[in-house]
Amino acid sequence: MRKISDKPAWQTYKWRDSKERILIGATVAFSRKGFYGTSVREISLEAGLEQPSIYHHFGSKENLYWSCLRATHLFMIRNLRRRMVKQATLEGEIRQMFRAVGWFHAEYPEFFALMFSLVYSSPREIGDRYTSLYGGDIFQFVANAFDRHPPRTGRLEKYSLTVHTLYSHILSYSGSRPKNLHISYFQALRKLFRAL
């Protein structure tokens, strides 16, 4: 797993222009302390640009936060989609989903953490807007897998278990786990499927 860098974001990640540089810097800053705990000064340090540049491109801290959430979400969905190769079985497709989430977290821990600062530290209107627009995107992968490989029995139960277990798997990356704790969400889900 890649470690979070001690360098500022603008020296760690690739960026095309100053707007993207600010987005990346803000994503890293917000992922550490959430919306309320992050100052525009900290964002400025991560982006390596002066505060007026941030206001020029985004107008306000709220607009910048929303832009970070949206950009991070779309970046995550695109990357997960690329990692999830269609499989011959439902079990194979579900395994791909869990592995893709783990891979994304290992590659982009700051970006992944931002998705969950939404849950804990965001203005309500931004959280509600994000959830209504993008909340179901990750679970569309589950729906597509079940459409391609409908189970013979217990479709609704298996679908619901998969969605909730995948969500738990994703949330497990939002905090730190004890080093000796090993949880295999996929293995637990397989056992539940066999019981149905």
Check which CATH number belongs to the domain holding 22 and give it.
1.10.357.10
How many domains does the chain contain in total?
A: 1
Asked, for residue 1, whether it belongs to a domain, the answer is: no
The per-residue pLDDT for 155 is: 93
Asked, for residue 52, whether it belongs to a domain, the answer is: yes
Place of tokens 């832009």: 67
Asked, for residue 2, whether it belongs to a domain, the answer is: no
Asked, for residue 101, whether it belongs to a domain, the answer is: yes
Asked, for residue 4, whether it belongs to a domain, the answer is: no
Q: What is the pLDDT of residues 105-119, one digit of tens each?
A: 888 887 777 777 766
Residue stretches of the chain with pLDDT short of 70: 1-5, 118-120, 175-182
The per-residue pLDDT for 54 is: 95
Query: Is the Cβ–Cβ distance between 92 and 190 less than 8 Å?
Result: no
Asked, for residue 43, whether it belongs to a domain, the answer is: yes
Question: Among candidates 58, 63, 15, 32, which has minimal Cα distance to 174?
Answer: 32
Query: Is the Cβ–Cβ distance between 107 and 20 less than 8 Å?
Result: no
Asked, for residue 98, whether it belongs to a domain, the answer is: yes
Total-model pTM: 0.79
Query: Is the Cβ–Cβ distance between 112 and 105 less than 8 Å?
Result: yes
Asked, for residue 3, whether it belongs to a domain, the answer is: no
Q: What is the pLDDT of residues 59-86, one digit of tens each?
A: 999 999 999 988 888 888 999 999 988 8
Question: Among candidates 128, 185, 196, which has minimal Cα distance to 162?
Answer: 185
Domain extent, residue 183, equals: 9-195
